[in-house]
Structure 1
Amino acid sequence: MFSSPQKVIRAVLVSQVLMGAAIVGIDMMRNPGTAAPGLFAPSTDGPSVRPYRPDLRPSDPAKPGAPAMRPMPDQLEFTEADDLITITGQIAPGDGDRFVAWLEQSRPQATQVALDSSGGSVSDALAIGRSIRSLGFSTTIQDGAVCLSACPYVLAGGDPRRVQKGGVVGVHQHYFGKNTILPAFMAVADVQRAQASVMEYLDQMGVDLRLMPLALRTPPDEINILTPDQLRELNVITTAENS
């Protein structure tokens, strides 16, 4: 699926070692004074790596006078309207099971899923992505929506998957759960097992594993915004934007 698997694996392993050296003090570090300005600006107009605030998202630029930022729900919210399933919020532990329960209760007729999420729990993102793939749903990031951190793994579950012009997709280092004080070798081993599960998932969903180094090089309090060319080249999207 990618031209040089040895280079990808080498980059992933190097990133894991660097993560292991700092893992005890990382526990989802955040910069509370930063509001992620310019998140929706085209990457050619600014750096691709920008501040990350999972609890906030930019307001709709089509609504003049609205506050610059608005809250992002602290767990996923699932709704269906106008033949569209919408998933909004941070991905909290247990959201994978909550999504399955919502599907069983609501029995939605729509087959397209629109995402607007700042990410969160990786394991729950993988579970939701697998549910989406098993049901044959497509995924989309609409104009003005974000799909950050673990959210791209939910996006990857769609077939097809698209990002509309004005939608933002970004990745960074993974966060797999609450930080515990562990010997370094145990912490690194846990991270490696978790990274392997993510790589296996991406391969199954048809996403180029060269996405991984882009994520692992970016600290958890920043986000690496993917360009339209990267989204296409890495097969994060399978349908052209604006479609």
Structure 2
Amino acid sequence: MGLFSSPQRVIRAVLVSQVLMGAAIVGIDMMRSPGSAAPGLFAPPAQGPSVRPYRPDLRPSDPSRPGAPAMRPMPDQLEFSEGADLIAITGQIAPGDGDRFVAWLEEARPQATQVALDSSGGSVSDALAIGRSIRSVGLSTTIQDGAVCLSACPYILAGGRERLVEEGGVVGVHQHYFGKNTILPALMAVADVQQAQASVMEFLDQMGVDLRLMPLALRTPPDEINILTPEQLRDLNVITDADG
């Protein structure tokens, strides 16, 4: 009897090969130098490709600090704090961060009226919830020099009453990831994604952002990020003002 004499053995062999291939890919990725995780992310759009590699768990260090490590970890959930005149929101957007932000607002009662974002994105639904909360209390949003706002983070940015991206700030979009549905049939899962996309479009329209932003996101794979130029940010009304 041959090695692949039964369907069960064939399936088992395919699964084992996929696991080994996946392990090899992860190993190669881990052996790469930290600086190669998101090369050229801070390069001006005119000097670099608009679509660049994307790693939500790592982010480039502030390019204004000579000698700093090329990459540093991005917190795995949002961190909220208030400085002298800014509310800082930093990290990946984790499920539940929308509720955590509301609870933080109620407890901290911040006096600052501007939110500085530095986030690689994450949960779309929580980003929308935070964006709505920011708009409801009349806060403005900003991406400072050396900060990033990627993936779902631009929806938080869109919540600002006024929206600013400083020169050296990076804003990027890509395809939404709402999570795999392993219970519902495929057609129902597709319907869920379509409803979620409709929620995003409705949100952008309510925030005054041009819906032409969506094709730029939907054409970019989840493992890449489409860096928006200052001209695009203004043209699509992602920002209401710009520095530089």
Q: Give TM-score scaled by structure 2 length.
A: 0.84
Q: What does 1:1-243 correspond to in 2, within 5 Å? A: 35-180=37-182, 182-242=184-244
Aligned residue number for residue 4 of structure 1: none
Q: Kindly, what percent of the aligned residue pairs are identical?
A: 85
Check conservation: 2:181, 2:189, Cα contact below 8 A: no
* C-alpha distance after superposition, 1:112-155 (max 9, x if no partner): 00000000000000000000000000000000000000000000
In structure 1, distance between residues paired with 2:57 and 2:199:
26
* C-alpha distance after superposition, 1:1-24 (max 9, x if no partner): xxxxxxxxxxxxxxxxxxxxxxxx
* C-alpha distance after superposition, 1:166-221 (max 9, x if no partner): 00000000012355264331221111000000000000000000000000000100
- Structure 1 residue ranges without an equivalent (≥5): 1-29
Deviating 4+ runs (over 2 angstroms): 30-34, 177-184
2:57 partner amino acid: D
- Structure 2 residue ranges without an equivalent (≥5): 1-25
* C-alpha distance after superposition, 1:14-36 (max 9, x if no partner): xxxxxxxxxxxxxxxx9765501
Larger Rg, first or second structure (1 or 2): 2
Q: Kindly tell me: are residues 43 and 179 of structure 1, through their superposed partners in 2, closer, same or farther at Cα, counting changes over 3 Å? A: farther
In structure 1, distance between residues paired with 2:122 and 2:130:
12
Q: Which moved more, 1:34-43 or 1:89-98?
A: 34-43
1:121 partner amino acid: S
Check conservation: 1:116, 1:147, Cα contact below 8 A: yes
Count of paired positions = 213
Check conservation: 1:121, 1:177, Cα contact below 8 A: no
1:193 partner amino acid: Q
**SS at 2:187's partner residue?**
helix
* C-alpha distance after superposition, 1:34-61 (max 9, x if no partner): 5011000011112100000000110111
1:110 partner amino acid: A
Aligned residue number for residue 3 of structure 2: none
Q: Give TM-score scaled by structure 1 length.
A: 0.85
In structure 2, distance between residues paired with 1:87 and 1:179:
29
**SS at 1:105's partner residue?**
helix
**SS at 1:237's partner residue?**
coil
In structure 1, distance between residues paired with 2:45 and 2:60:
16
Aligned residue number for residue 12 of structure 2: none
For CA contacts below 8 A with separation 6 or more, give which structure has more relative contact order: 1
Aligned residue number for residue 5 of structure 2: none
